[in-house]
């Protein structure tokens, strides 16, 4: 009986953690980013729910107010915004933004050709990411990177995404 209960708990990981809320394009972007990191002998990024929340808020804010900047409509920079969403301040953090791209391949290509954005993609200190895309009159993509796994998961599906 104990074995059956343990097996059930292991195969139902969402009793222990929430799965990331990534849609198909965000999941594909995560896979592309992780493939790019692997090509450069870096580890895969896991998904941080805190950074997903931060990225979603930022992409919605840019779409709602029709602007494109690392400073949001409340006057917060990337790091203050992450802190307000509960991500620690004393760890590696970064943000990539893109606007006007329809596909995840196009977004990654743009980030790869931009030195600062590429540095974030290939930063060995980053362990997790939050991704979001919101479309208004244009599509706004946000990637929030962090060096701390803030919501550890247990179970098979939580080990790696992408």
Model confidence at 15: pLDDT above 50: no
Q: Where are the alpha helices (DSSP H) in 40-130?
A: 49-65, 78-84, 104-113, 115-121
Given a contact cutoff of 8 angstroms between Cβ atoms, the answer to whether 66 and 137 are in contact is yes
* Cβ neighbours of 73 (radius 10 Å): 12
Higher pLDDT, 153 or 90: 90
Residues 64-90: what's their mean pLDDT? 95
Residue-level pLDDT at 150: 83
Predicted confidence (pLDDT) per residue in 129-160, tens digit? 999 999 989 999 999 999 999 865 443 334 34
Give every CB contact of residue 138 below 8 A, 6+ residues apart in sequence: 63, 99, 100
| CA atoms 125, 97, 20, 91: torsion sign | positive
Model confidence at 84: pLDDT above 60: yes
The two tokens of residue 25 are: 């394009």
pTM: 0.81
């Amino acid at each position: 009986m104990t074995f059956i209960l343990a097996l059930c708990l292991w195969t139902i990981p969402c009793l222990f953690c929430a799965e990331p809320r990534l849609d198909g394009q965000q999941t594909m972007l995560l896979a592309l980013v992780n493939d790019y990191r692997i090509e450069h002998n870096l580890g895969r990024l896991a998904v941080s729910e805190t950074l997903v929340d931060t990225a979603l808020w930022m992409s919605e804010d840019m779409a709602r107010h029709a602007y494109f900047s690392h400073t949001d409509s409340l006057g917060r920079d990337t790091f203050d915004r992450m802190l307000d969403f509960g991500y620690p301040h004393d760890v590696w953090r970064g943000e990539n933004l893109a606007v006007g791209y329809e596909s995840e391949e196009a977004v990654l290509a743009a980030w790869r050709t931009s030195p600062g954005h590429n540095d974030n993609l290939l930063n060995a200190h980053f362990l997790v990411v939050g991704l979001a895309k919101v479309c208004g009159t244009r599509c706004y993509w946000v990637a929030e990177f962090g060096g701390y796994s803030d919501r550890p998961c247990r179970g098979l599906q939580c080990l790696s995404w992408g």
